[in-house]
């Protein structure tokens, strides 16, 4: 019982510190920029629904899912443990009688409502701004956005427990590696999370008018396989992060 009290305290502390951190301000910028773009673009006014659906889907795929979602995940997921590590306040947690596994899960779970809340909330808002085609796109792309968000959060937690300046490394990964690798021809793109997310989005969108990508440039896998891959990445990153955090001596704290 006392362990549960300690854990919920840590969960609440982590959530509260993340919510009122610079990360929130940082992620609001790209979210706001996307909203302003959608208002200016005025998808709801378009007469050609097929073409509009395609444009809206590509925006969601290449700007929102490939750029804004990872940025949001970087901001919160690396700050949850990485922030404590950089501020060296992690020490105050590591010398308490709370198993490291539970410290890690408190940090991870505190991050999820923020990332998922913002991403899902913003996605809902953007779809509303898209009018009828937005309302049609919402249920189609929601699963991909959800799985991608969780996979990024897990991966960036792994970065946070493994590297001292995890935010910088995760940003470099999100901005360059994901975009670069995700758009490489051939099989290399399969190491990028956004490849699986986009595969799910194509699988959902193509039957409703989304243009199929050229095979030599992007060959999507089935939605089920992509979803399983994202779940696999999530679990593997979590497991490795957990093992690293459990065993690691943080000599940089004092």
Partner 1 sequence: MLLTFDQVTKFYGPVIGVNNISCRIGPGITGLFGANGAGKSTLMKLASGQLRPSQGEVKVGEHRAWSTEAKRHFGYVPDLNSFYEEMTCLDFVYVMARLYGLKRSDARRRTAEVIEEVGMADRSGRKLAGCSHGMRQRIKLAQALINDPPILLLDEPLSGIDPGGRREISRLLVAQGEKGKTILISSHILGETESLTDSVLIIARGRIVASGTLSEIRAKLEDRPLTVEIRSPQSRRLAALLVDEPELRNIELRPTGLIVQTRNPLRFFTFINDLVAKNGIEIEQLQTLDGGADAVFNYLQQGSR
Strands (E), the chain: none
Q: CB 77 → partner 1: shortest distance, Å?
A: 19
Our finding on whether 165 is near partner 1 (CB under 8 A) is no
Q: Work out which of 25, 33, 36, 91 binds partner 1, going by CB under 8 A.
A: 91
**Among the listed residues 97, 186, 215, 216, the single contact to partner 1 using CB under 8 A:** 97
Distances (CA, A) of 231 to 37, 99, 114: 31, 25, 19
Question: Which one of 82-90, 145-153, 216-224, 237-245 is the stretch in contact with partner 1 (CB under 8 A)?
Answer: 82-90
Nearest to 127 by CA among 202, 209, 59: 59
Stretch that binds partner 1, among 3-11, 119-127, 178-186, 212-220 (CB under 8 A): 3-11
Task: Give the C-alpha distances (Å, rounded to integers) separating 13 from 6, 78, 250.
Answer: 10, 16, 21
Residues 188-247 that bind partner 1 (CB under 8 A): none
Task: For residue 251, state whether it binds partner 1 (rule: CB under 8 A).
Answer: yes
Asked if 66 and 178 touch (Cβ cutoff 8 Å), the reply is yes
Question: Which of 10/137 has CB closer to partner 1?
Answer: 10
Whose tokens are 């590696």? That residue is 177
Q: Compute the least distance from the CB of residue 25 to partner 1, in Å.
A: 15
Interface region with partner 1, contact rule CB under 8 A, candidates 8-16, 36-44, 155-163, 198-206? 8-16
Q: How far is the CB of 58 from partner 1 (least distance, A)?
A: 41
Q: Report the candidate in 174, 147, 197 with the shortest Cα–Cα distance to residue 75.
A: 174
Q: Please, what is the minimum distance in Å from the beta carbon of residue 252 to partner 1?
A: 11
Q: What 3-state DSSP class applies to 210?
A: coil
Tell the smallest beta-carbon distance from residue 103 to partner 1 (Å). Answer: 10
* Member of 18, 61, 73, 93 binding partner 1 (CB under 8 A): 93
Nearer to partner 1, 93 or 119 (CB): 93
Contact status, residue 244 vs residue 161, Cβ threshold 8 Å = yes
For 94-115, b/e burial (b = at least 16 CB within 10 A) is eeeebeeeebbbbbbebbbebb
* 51 touches partner 1 (CB under 8 A): no
Any contact of residue 105 with partner 1 (CB under 8 A)? no
Answer yes or no: are the C-beta atoms of 12 and 106 closer than 8 Å. no
Phi, psi of 29 (to 5 degrees): -60, -60
Interacting residue ranges for partner 1, rule: CB under 8 A: 1-6, 9-10, 13, 17, 20, 87-89, 91-100, 249-251, 253-254
């Amino acid at each position: 019982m006392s362990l549960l009290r300690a854990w919920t305290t840590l969960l609440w502390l982590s959530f509260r510190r993340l919510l009122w951190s610079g990360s929130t301000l940082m992620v609001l910028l790209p979210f706001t920029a996307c909203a302003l773009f959608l208002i200016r673009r005025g998808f709801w006014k378009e007469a050609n629904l097929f073409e509009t659906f395609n444009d809206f889907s590509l925006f969601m795929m290449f700007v929102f899912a490939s750029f804004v979602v990872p940025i949001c995940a970087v901001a919160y997921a690396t700050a949850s443990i990485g922030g404590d590590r950089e501020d060296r306040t992690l020490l105050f947690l590591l010398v308490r009688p709370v198993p490291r596994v539970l410290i890690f899960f408190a940090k991870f779970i505190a991050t999820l409502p923020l990332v998922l809340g913002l991403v899902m909330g913003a996605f809902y808002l953007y779809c509303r701004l898209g009018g009828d085609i937005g309302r049609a796109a919402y249920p189609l792309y929601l699963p991909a956005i959800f799985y991608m968000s969780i996979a990024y959060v897990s991966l960036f937690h792994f970065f946070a427990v493994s590297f001292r300046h995890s935010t910088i490394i995760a940003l470099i990964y999100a901005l360059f590696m994901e975009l670069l690798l995700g758009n490489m021809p051939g099989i290399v793109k399969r190491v990028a999370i956004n490849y699986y997310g986009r595969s799910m989005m194509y699988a959902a969108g193509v039957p409703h008018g989304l243009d199929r990508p050229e095979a030599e440039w992007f060959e999507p896998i089935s939605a089920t396989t992509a979803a399983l891959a994202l779940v696999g990445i999530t679990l593997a990153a979590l497991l490795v992060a957990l093992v690293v955090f459990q065993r690691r001596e943080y000599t940089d704290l004092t």
